[in-house]
Structure 1
Amino acid sequence: MIPLSQLPVEEARSVRIILSDIDDTITTEGVLTASAYTALERLQRAGFLVIPVTGRPAGWCDHIARMWPVDAVVGENGAFYFRYDRQRKKMEQHFWATPEELRQNRARLDAIEKEVLSSVPGSALASDQSYRLADLAIDFCEDVPPLPEAEVDRIVAIFERHGAQAKVSSIHVNGWFGDYNKLSMAKTLLGDVFGLDWEQARNSVVYAGDSPNDEPMFAAFPLSVGVANIHDFEHRLKHRPAYVAKGHSGDGFAELAELLLAARG
């Protein structure tokens, strides 16, 4: 990973779209700081498309799409995208699964939840689970004392034994049924809403993230950036970001924003 300060100006100037994880990438220790929020607002006002791509739930994503200075949001690790049309005052929603598939998958996830909570002491249902529509989030350090890495791996193994996908974020293990992830829904959003084919997207996007559930995005986009805390997960990553910020979490995101704004002039 190359220090972000060494990103060529010409490469920074090619960026038109900022896709970014939220937890510990835009936020810092669970808090959306003034500097990170200001970075989002400055980027959007400068004409960039700004799109969070997160594991957070549908309930939160409705709020983010409506009230943050963003152009859309991908949530629950790719289960859907939401876009709020401010002129028409209408929320646009697109889901990977049908309502019936979501209902069937929830029953299967409920069984996994029971097994994880009974088998992995110290784990807990994520506090935002009641706002989720498509996935199951198991907390291993957000609102509980941090679990050892071996216990996090046990949670992943239980999901996978049931045939579910499982991804580790900086705070949760997220699991779901369906052949999608952050990347597949981001591609759908960029094509459906913004009319970008894949080559256009790859050459105009920067992705910022911090943890293993960002790997599909790191692998897909030539210009990808990890905030400094990506080093905590480096041993888990097969695909690392091309660049790494000096700043941790939201400070790293603000560092990226400043660089892009300066390059645009």
Structure 2
Amino acid sequence: MPAIQPLSAFTEGQRRAIRYVLTDIDDTLTSHGRLTADAYAALERLQVAGFQVIPITGRPAGWCDLIARFWPVDGIVGENGALYMRYDRDAKVMRRRFFQSDAERQAARTKLAALSHTILREVPGCALASDQQYRECDLAVDFCEDVTPLPREAVDKIVALFEQAGATAKVSSIHVNGWFGDWDKLSMTRVFFRDIFGEDLETIRDSVVFAGDSPNDAPMFGYFPHSVGVANVTPFLDRIASPPAYVTPSEGGRGFVELTDALIAVRA
């Protein structure tokens, strides 16, 4: 595993080349389950400075509609890559794209509903995520957000039950997300950049920074040369095959603010 460098190793020249800021939300923008004023303001500061800002999250479609519409962002990839949304404020039109067709999503939801009963029965203490009713494409199982935190062994069992059923499973800092389909955060990010910006992500990787904190961010950490983990990524490093290139001094939203300060400093 390559050594992770401190954020201070992210050179001025590298930061000056950044045009796009991609970020996870939970425990990357948020701190202890809350979005602080400083972290939210950092999104707007980045936009004002000329960056394109896109959250890349495991949170549900219902949340993504609100975030795309009301937050100072240029679009959002949600449900770990199952969809993206972008709100055209001039035309007042929400643009949505899903990885699967309506029929495929309906069939998958039926299978996930049946699987949810098995997981809840086999793993005492877990629960369906409180945002499950707003999801289009995946099943989110809560292991520490609104339930008493479960041990790693229980989280591993949730993952195993998803995989035994033929589903993909990814672990975030709060949920295990499972789905029937072939996508992840990176695959839909590629689609978003092609559709919205007319860019081939492969050719502009050096102009993108991604911030995250947990195992489901591994595809993004591995792909982008300038990937940043907020400090609370450290406990997950033994479960992240591709770690971030840099780590911030502080955890959560405070770490994201540190990254924002570093990016804006070279624009000034």
TM-score by length of 1: 0.99
* Alignment equivalent of 2:252, drawn from 249, 254, 257: 249
Residue aligning to 1:143: 146
**2:117 is the alignment partner of 1:111:** no
Whole-angstrom distance in 1 between the partners of 2:78 and 2:115: 21
Aligned partner (choices 42, 54, 58) of residue 55 of structure 1: 58
* Number of the residue aligned with 2:168: 165
Amino acid at match of 1:20: T
Q: Partners in 2 of 1:120 and 1:190 — Cα distance?
A: 39
Identify the residue that residue 120 of structure 1 maps to in structure 2: 123
Asked if 2 retains the 8 angstrom alpha-carbon contact of 1:43 and 1:261, the reply is: yes
Please tell me whether residue 221 in structure 1 is matched to residue 224 in structure 2: yes
Query: Contact 1:224–1:242 at 8 Å: present in 2 too?
Result: yes
Amino acid at match of 1:28: S
2:47 match: secondary structure: helix
Instruction: Check if 1:33 corresponds to 2:31.
Output: no
- Report how far residue 5 of structure 1 moved: 1.4
Q: Hey, what's the Cα distance between the residues in 1 that align with 2:183 and 2:132?
A: 19
Q: 2:25 aligns with which of 7, 22, 25?
A: 22
Following the alignment from structure 2 to structure 1, what is the Cα–Cα distance between the partners of residues 67 and 98? 17
**TM superposition shift of 1:197:** 1.0
SS of the residue aligned with 1:12? helix
Once residues 54 and 108 of structure 2 are traced to their aligned partners in structure 1, the CA distance between those partners, rounded to angstroms, is: 27
CA distance in 2, matches of 1:40, 1:193: 19
Residues 164-203 of structure 1 aligned to structure 2 (within 5 Å): 164-203=167-206
1:200 is displaced (CA, Å) by 3.1
2:96 is matched with which residue? Answer: 93
Deviation at 1:30, TM superposition (A): 1.1
Cα offsets for 1:98-139 (capped at 9, x unmatched): 000000000110111000000000000000000000000000
Gaps spanning 5+ residues in structure 1: where? none
**Structure 2 counterpart of 1:211, from 206, 214, 239:** 214
SS at match of 2:177: strand
2:8 is matched with which residue? 5
In 1, distance between residues paired with 2:19 and 2:158? 38
Question: Does the Cα contact within 8 Å between 1:218 and 1:240 map onto a contact in 2?
Answer: yes
**1:190–1:201 contact (8 Å) kept in structure 2:** no
Q: How far apart, in 2, do the equivalents of 1:99 and 1:241 lie?
A: 35
Cα deviation for residue 247 of structure 1 reads: 1.0
Structure 1 runs (4+) greater than 4 angstroms displaced: none
Task: State the shift of 1:232 in Å.
Answer: 1.4
The structural deviation recorded for 1:7 is 1.1
State the 1:234 CA deviation.
Answer: 1.0
Partner residue in 1 for 2:68: 65
The aligned length equals 265
Letter of the 1:85 counterpart: D
- Deviation of residue 146 (structure 1)? 0.3
Partner of 1:152: 155
Partner residue, 1:43: 46
